[in-house]
């Protein structure tokens, strides 16, 4: 661009302002001058040498500027460089997080959770985290209800009658004693925030390692939650807390002429009975725990409190969450209240005892009683070894015939009980029964039935020294296969040379093995149990009729129900407890087992 007078002129630009083109057109001298100046500039174009010099000069200037900037950076203090680097990293991290949050990770598309796809639990059981949690728990419960006593920790790590051995490295950091649902909820909120594993403890009578604290963490003992909250006599139901014992419950409601049938064993409490889905000696007539729970109040893993149902005897409203939590063994939620069905206390009750030459004959008698449809209240079997242990231990007030024995319990009207006794006596005789004795009063009832209730304790009394252990386990099969599996298991026990007895609620195909062994004999005992479970599965039975899965039976589940079914159970576990805080490792595995950890089928 050049200037002439006050008019700017753009050479050879058709878009030049009209006024400039007009000025040139009107002044020919200006045109000659403009043309001459343009030609002069064209002739002054720099030479190649000049262009090279100019390029080199510009490059040197850029390099000098870069060197000056580098020298300036070098003179900065390390702290300044660290701050700058930190700022950059924080900026990049924040930016990456923001960009990642714009597209969240896809939810699982599968309906199941195969073990291979599950990430191992990442709990925080560091001393600092647990000690900080201790302060939180003291604020919730008071110092007197938070225990770190070594005796308490050991007591809540296992028992002498559990089939899972106590391990020194599997102890809770502390034991908590809440008294309300709200306190349990607040405890779980702390554990959820701090990712601390939790093991629930009720009566402590479980037999398959249910409350072994395999991940450490804390134990919640419900012993202070032992209240019968309300009895609805006209509706025949009761609301209780988890540490109410079934025996104490029956003593209380008997005053109202009511009765709670499940009776798993002395010392069992409602919370544990719900957790294992237990039954007991009355199961043949009255069914299992699943039939006697109407509703549950449950604290979930994140502290959420839910109530599964109202109180009516039946409901078709939505998913049956009540049944879901029964038998879940504390892996899905913590039961803090249970609404239980009741029935009318029987007008009359009697007990009869029949002995047989072989365990197979005794089992055949049970099969015939079931096939005849006789509604006896209970049918229990004890083999000859079990009867010998009862006599030797002196646990009862009388001596018993040391042969396979069936204990029958009859309930109903006086005339109905007499009729049932007469029919069963004939059936026992037709299956080689050697003797048949029935009670003629309440005292004789208790005396005859006491042998069945003392089965486990009588074997424990036979311990040879402090190093002996008792393994109690159970299976169940269809009734038609009961004589076969009992006979085969009996032969296996004899060949093992262990002190081992058979007893059980055989009216519904369920029987138990009680085995005495020491550390050197553990492998032999494991073999007997393994073959017993395998027989049950091959006979279309179950790996556990009422004891529950716990730690011991979890790897047998796939053989009973299939891998995909167990994967579905695992999905339920992870849906309700994604951090695996509640009774981790029980029922289903949440971590791939180590080589050789699972027995070969």
Residues 300 and 405 both lie in one domain: no
**Mean pLDDT of all residues in 265-286:** 93
> Among 11-25, 161-175, 328-342, which is the least confidently predicted range?
11-25
Count Cα neighbours of 464 within 13 Å in the Cβ-side half-sphere: 9
Per-position b or e across 7-19, b if 16+ CB within 10 A of its CB:
bebeeeeeebeee
Residues 539 and 564 both lie in one domain: no
Residues 95 and 187 both lie in one domain: no
User: End-to-end alpha-carbon separation of the chain, Å?
Assistant: 96
Whether the pLDDT of residue 543 is over 80: the answer is: yes
Residues 293 and 430 both lie in one domain: no
pLDDT at residue number 563: 97
pLDDT at residue number 40: 43
* Full DSSP string of 119-137: PPP-----HHHHHHHHHHH
Q: Where are the alpha helices (DSSP H) in 142-180?
A: 150-155
Instruction: Confirm whether 586 is domain-assigned.
Output: yes
Count Cα neighbours of 236 within 13 Å in the Cβ-side half-sphere: 12
**Mean pLDDT of all residues in 388-395:** 89
Residue found under tokens 């728990």:
137
Residues 311 and 448 both lie in one domain: no
Instruction: Confirm whether 110 is domain-assigned.
Output: no
pLDDT at residue number 24: 42
> Structurally, how many domains does the chain consist of?
6
Whether the pLDDT of residue 117 is over 50: the answer is: yes
pLDDT at residue number 17: 43
Instruction: Confirm whether 121 is domain-assigned.
Output: no
E strands, 281-321, in order: 293-299, 305-307
Whether the pLDDT of residue 188 is over 50: the answer is: yes
> Among 16-20, 176-180, 495-499, which is the least confidently predicted range?
16-20
Residues 139 and 241 both lie in one domain: no
Residues 453 and 488 both lie in one domain: yes
Share of the chain above pLDDT 70, in %: 85
Spatial distance between the Cα atoms of 469 and 518, rounded to a whole number of angstroms: 6
Burial of 443 (0-12, 13-18, 19+ CB in 10 A): exposed
Report the range out of 143-157, 380-394, 443-457 with the highest average pLDDT. Answer: 143-157
Whether the pLDDT of residue 42 is over 50: the answer is: no
Residues 233 and 301 both lie in one domain: yes
Distances in Å between the Cα of 208 and the Cα atoms of 271, 474, 553 are 16, 10, 8
Average pLDDT, the chain: 87
In the three-class reduction of DSSP (H, G, I as helix; E, B as strand; rest coil), residue 326 is classed as coil
Residue found under tokens 């981790």:
584
Confidence class of residue 47 from pLDDT cuts 50, 70 and 90?
Answer: low
In the three-class reduction of DSSP (H, G, I as helix; E, B as strand; rest coil), residue 339 is classed as strand
pLDDT at residue number 409: 92
Spatial distance between the Cα atoms of 189 and 47, rounded to a whole number of angstroms: 83
Q: What is the residue range of 15's domain?
A: 2-43
Residues 391 and 467 both lie in one domain: yes
Looking up residue 386, the CATH number of its domain turns out to be 3.40.462.10
Residue that wins the pLDDT comparison between 199 and 52: 199
Confidence class of residue 516 from pLDDT cuts 50, 70 and 90?
Answer: very high
Sign of the Cα pseudo-torsion (544, 549, 554, 557, in order): positive
Spatial distance between the Cα atoms of 503 and 362, rounded to a whole number of angstroms: 11
Cα dihedral 414→415→418→423 (10° resolution): -140
Confidence class of residue 12 from pLDDT cuts 50, 70 and 90?
Answer: very low
Contacts of 255 (CB under 8 A, 6+ apart): none
Instruction: Confirm whether 115 is domain-assigned.
Output: no
pLDDT at residue number 102: 62
Distances in Å between the Cα of 507 and the Cα atoms of 279, 291, 305, 344, 434 are 12, 17, 38, 22, 20
Contacts of 194 (CB under 8 A, 6+ apart): 124, 129, 132, 133
- Out of 320, 344, 368, a domain closes at 344
Distances in Å between the Cα of 524 and the Cα atoms of 453, 482, 491, 520, 528 are 27, 24, 14, 8, 6
Chain segment 198-246, per-residue pLDDT in tens: 999 999 999 999 999 999 999 999 999 999 999 999 999 999 999 999 9
pLDDT at residue number 11: 42
Contacts of 291 (CB under 8 A, 6+ apart): 341
Confidence class of residue 579 from pLDDT cuts 50, 70 and 90?
Answer: very high
Residues 498 and 449 both lie in one domain: yes
pLDDT at residue number 9: 41
Instruction: Confirm whether 403 is domain-assigned.
Output: yes
In the three-class reduction of DSSP (H, G, I as helix; E, B as strand; rest coil), residue 460 is classed as helix
Whether the pLDDT of residue 489 is over 70: the answer is: yes
> Residue 221: beta bridge partners?
201
Whether the pLDDT of residue 547 is over 90: the answer is: yes
Instruction: Confirm whether 112 is domain-assigned.
Output: no
Residue that wins the pLDDT comparison between 146 and 163: 146
Residues 182 and 265 both lie in one domain: no
- Out of 288, 315, 344, a domain closes at 344
- Out of 205, 221, 237, a domain closes at 221
| 535 DSSP assignment | H
Instruction: Confirm whether 120 is domain-assigned.
Output: no
> Among 93-107, 533-547, 584-598, which is the least confidently predicted range?
93-107
pLDDT at residue number 59: 67
Number of DSSP helices (H) and strands (E) in the chain, helices first: 20, 20
Whether the pLDDT of residue 46 is over 70: the answer is: no
Greatest distance between any 2 Cα atoms in the chain: 149
Residue that wins the pLDDT comparison between 444 and 476: 476
Confidence class of residue 99 from pLDDT cuts 50, 70 and 90?
Answer: low
**Mean pLDDT of all residues in 544-563:** 96
Confidence class of residue 49 from pLDDT cuts 50, 70 and 90?
Answer: low
Whether the pLDDT of residue 94 is over 80: the answer is: no
Selection from 587, 550, 552 nearest residue 211 by Cα? 550
Per-position b or e across 174-205, b if 16+ CB within 10 A of its CB:
bbbbbbebebbbbbbbbbbebbbbbbbbbbbb
**Mean pLDDT of all residues in 70-77:** 57
Residues 413 and 548 both lie in one domain: yes
Phi, psi of 546 (to 5 degrees): -155, -15
pLDDT at residue number 147: 97
Instruction: Confirm whether 265 is domain-assigned.
Output: yes
Count Cα neighbours of 474 within 13 Å in the Cβ-side half-sphere: 27
> Among 103-112, 266-275, 421-430, which is the least confidently predicted range?
103-112
Looking up residue 289, the CATH number of its domain turns out to be 3.30.465.10
Confidence class of residue 535 from pLDDT cuts 50, 70 and 90?
Answer: very high
**Mean pLDDT of all residues in 457-462:** 86
**Mean pLDDT of all residues in 283-295:** 95
Confidence class of residue 41 from pLDDT cuts 50, 70 and 90?
Answer: very low
In the three-class reduction of DSSP (H, G, I as helix; E, B as strand; rest coil), residue 416 is classed as helix
Whether the pLDDT of residue 560 is over 90: the answer is: yes
Share of the chain above pLDDT 90, in %: 68
Contacts of 435 (CB under 8 A, 6+ apart): 353, 354, 355, 401
Phi, psi of 455 (to 5 degrees): -55, -55
Confidence class of residue 441 from pLDDT cuts 50, 70 and 90?
Answer: confident
Q: What share of the chain is helix, strand, coil (3-state, %, to 5)?
A: 45, 15, 40
């Amino acid at each position: 661009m050049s200037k002439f007078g006050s008019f700017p002129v753009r050479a050879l630009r058709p878009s030049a302002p009209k006024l400039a083109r007009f000025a040139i057109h009107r002044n020919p001298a200006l045109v000659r001058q403009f043309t001459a100046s343009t030609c002069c500039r064209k002739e002054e174009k720099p030479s190649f040498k000049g262009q090279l010099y100019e390029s080199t000069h510009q490059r040197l200037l850029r390099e000098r500027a870069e060197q000056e900037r580098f020298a300036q950076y070098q003179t900065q203090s390390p702290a300044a460089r660290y701050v700058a680097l930190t700022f950059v990293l924080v900026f990049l991290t924040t930016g990456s997080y923001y960009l990642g949050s714009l597209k969240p990770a896809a939810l699982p598309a599968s309906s199941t959770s195969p073990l291979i796809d599950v990430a191992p639990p990442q709990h925080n059981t560091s001393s600092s985290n647990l000690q900080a949690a201790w302060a939180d728990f003291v604020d919730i419960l008071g110092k007197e209800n938070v225990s770190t006593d070594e005796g308490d920790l050991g007591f809540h790590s296992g028992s002498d009658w559990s089939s899972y051995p106590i391990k020194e490295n599997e102890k809770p950091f502390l034991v908590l004693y809440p008294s309300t649902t709200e306190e349990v909820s607040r405890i779980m909120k702390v554990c959820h925030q701090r990712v601390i594993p939790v093991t629930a403890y009720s009566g402590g009578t479980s037999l398959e390692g249910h409350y072994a604290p395999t991940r450490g963490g804390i134990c919640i003992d419900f012993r202070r939650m032992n209240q019968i909250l309300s009895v609805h006599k006209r509706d025949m139901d009761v609301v209780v807390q988890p540490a109410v014992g079934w025996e104490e419950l029956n003593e209380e409601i008997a005053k109202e002429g009511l009765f709670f049938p499940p009776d798993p064993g002395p010392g069992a409490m409602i919370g544990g009975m719900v957790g294992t889905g237990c039954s007991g000696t009355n199961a043949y007539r009255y069914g299992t725990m699943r039939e006697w729970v109407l509703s549950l109040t449950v604290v979930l893993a994140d502290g959420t409190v839910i109530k599964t149902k109202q109180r009516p005897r039946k409901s078709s409203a939505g998913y049956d969450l009540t049944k879901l939590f029964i038998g879940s063994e504390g892996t899905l939620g913590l039961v803090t209240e249970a609404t239980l069905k009741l029935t009318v206390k029987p007008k009359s009750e009697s007990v009869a005892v029949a002995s047989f030459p072989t365990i197979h004959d005794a089992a055949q008698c049970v099969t015939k009683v079931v096939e005849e449809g006789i509604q006896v209240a209970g049918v229990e079997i004890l083999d000859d070894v079990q009867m010998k242990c009862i006599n030797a231990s002196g646990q009862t007030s009388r001596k018993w015939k040391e042969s396979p024995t069936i204990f029958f319990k009859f309930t109903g009207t006086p005339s109905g009980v007499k009729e049932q006794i007469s029919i069963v006596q004939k059936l026992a005789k037709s299956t080689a029964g050697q003797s048949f004795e029935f009670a003629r009063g309440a005292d004789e009832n208790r005396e005859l039935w006491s042998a069945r209730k003392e089965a486990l304790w009588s074997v424990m009394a036979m311990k040879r020294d402090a190093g002996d252990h008792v393994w109690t386990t159970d299976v169940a099969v269809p009734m038609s296969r009961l004589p076969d599996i009992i006979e085969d298991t009996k032969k296996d026990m004899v060949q093992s040379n262990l002190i081992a007895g058979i007893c059980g609620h055989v009216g519904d195909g369920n029987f138990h093995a009680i085995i005495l062994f020491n550390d050197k004999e553990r492998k032999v005992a494991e073999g007997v149990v393994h073959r017993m479970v395998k027989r049950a599965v091959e006979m279309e039975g179950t790996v556990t009729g009422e004891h529950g899965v716990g730690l011991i039976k979890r790897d047998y589940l796939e053989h009973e129900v299939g891998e995909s079914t167990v994967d579905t159970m695992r999905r339920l576990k992870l849906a309700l407890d994604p951090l695996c805080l509640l009774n981790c490792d029980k029922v289903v595995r949440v971590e791939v087992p180590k080589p050789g950890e699972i027995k070969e089928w």
